[in-house]
Structure 1
Amino acid sequence: MKIEKSEKEDHKILSEITYQGKAFWGYEKEQLEKWKNDLTITEEYIENNETFKLIVNDKTIGYYSILKLENEVIKLDNLFLLPEFIGKGYGKTLMNDCIEKAKEKNIKKIILDSDPNAELFYKSFGFKVYDKLETSIKNRFLLQMELSLES
């Protein structure tokens, strides 16, 4: 198992991981199609944002990406796994890598917009909800969460 920086050529597999990872939570195919653009990772996205892939047995099974917002704040923009690897500790491996890289760069806070299905996962790392965003699905909200890395 290894985590490496994604190359722009990875955009198709990362898009597929994103789509399948989102589908894992039971969203209707029609809804996933509406989100198709949001779930697509482009070559430009990889070139412009720090994106790291998780490789197991020479297969990319997941990834995460971060956006730099301010000097000491980053946003975890994506963290997805292929469905067959969810619940086996790989998400934890990716999240720990993200936190470690942030600490190495003296980042003080990580923020994210969490799918409701991932709230407990992020809370297990110490993320706290500070607000919520209404989505295109009635009565569904993305949770805005933050993790302070200051001691």
Structure 2
Amino acid sequence: MKIEKSTRTDSKKLTELTIRSKSHWDYSMQQIEKWRDDLTVSEDYIIEKEVYKLIDSKDKIIGYYSYFKIDEVNVKLENLFVEPKFIGYGYGKMLMNDFIERIRKTRTEKIILDSDPNAENFYAKNGFKVVGKLKTSIEGRFLPIMELKIKPVANNVYKK
């Protein structure tokens, strides 16, 4: 297994993985279709954002994450998805660890994300705290807004 920067040619595979992974949480196909634009990882998205994929020894994509800088000290984790058949085997943690280590090498002080309610526990286990909620298009459904503060240490290296 290795994690590397995604390229534009990964667009279709990442989109399909995202839809499969989101569908894992028993959302209806009708709901998934309503979200299709939000779940699409376009070539432009890959060029504009930081997108990293986890691939196996046969170069098959197992999962990915994407993020962008809000400003000099804040980063937004926009996506972290794993193939459904690999959920629960530590690949999400592997992606999260890679992401946090990558962020520690920057001036970032805080990571922000809008979590799917089904993923809230995963992020909480990784140190994120709920700081608010975001209303969604589904009646009575809210996304937890979560954050993780990164504390600076000597030599521009950051720690949780």
TM-score tier, shorter chain, comes to: over 0.9
User: C-alpha displacement at 1:107, in angstroms?
Assistant: 1.2
TM-score w.r.t. length of structure 2: 0.93
* Alignment-derived partner of residue 147 in structure 1: 148
Residue 114 of structure 1 aligns with an amino acid whose one-letter code is: S
Tell me how far apart the structure 2 counterparts of residues 142 and 8 of structure 1 sit (CA, whole Å). Answer: 29
Partner of 1:138, secondary structure, is: coil
* Alignment-derived partner of residue 123 in structure 1: 124
Could you tell me which runs of 5 or more consecutive residues in structure 1 were left unpaired when the two chains were aligned. none
Q: How many residues align?
A: 151
Tell me how far apart the structure 2 counterparts of residues 76 and 16 of structure 1 sit (CA, whole Å). Answer: 19
Could you tell me which runs of 5 or more consecutive residues in structure 2 were left unpaired when the two chains were aligned. 153-160
Partner of 1:144, secondary structure, is: strand
* Alignment-derived partner of residue 65 in structure 1: 66
* Alignment-derived partner of residue 39 in structure 1: 39
Tell me how far apart the structure 1 counterparts of residues 56 and 87 of structure 2 sit (CA, whole Å). Answer: 13
Residue 150 of structure 1 aligns with an amino acid whose one-letter code is: K
1:89-122 CA-partner distances (Å, limit 9, x unpaired) = 0000000111000001131110000000000000
Larger radius of gyration: 2
Tell me how far apart the structure 2 counterparts of residues 112 and 118 of structure 1 sit (CA, whole Å). Answer: 11
Tell me how far apart the structure 2 counterparts of residues 130 and 92 of structure 1 sit (CA, whole Å). Answer: 22
Residue 62 of structure 2 aligns with an amino acid whose one-letter code is: I
Partner of 1:41, secondary structure, is: coil
Tell me how far apart the structure 1 counterparts of residues 107 and 125 of structure 2 sit (CA, whole Å). Answer: 22
Tell me how far apart the structure 2 counterparts of residues 39 and 125 of structure 1 sit (CA, whole Å). Answer: 23
Tell me how far apart the structure 1 counterparts of residues 84 and 127 of structure 2 sit (CA, whole Å). Answer: 24
> What is the correspondence of 1:42-57 to structure 2 with a 5 Å cutoff?
42-57=42-57
1:47-81 CA-partner distances (Å, limit 9, x unpaired) = 00000000012211110000110101100000001
Superposition CA RMSD, Å: 0.7
Tell me how far apart the structure 1 counterparts of residues 130 and 25 of structure 2 sit (CA, whole Å). Answer: 20
* Alignment-derived partner of residue 9 in structure 1: 9
Deviation larger for 57-66 or 4-13: 57-66
Does 1:28 pair with 2:38?
Answer: no
Query: % of aligned pairs identical?
Result: 55
List 4+ stretches of structure 1 deviating above 3 A. none
Tell me how far apart the structure 1 counterparts of residues 11 and 135 of structure 2 sit (CA, whole Å). Answer: 28
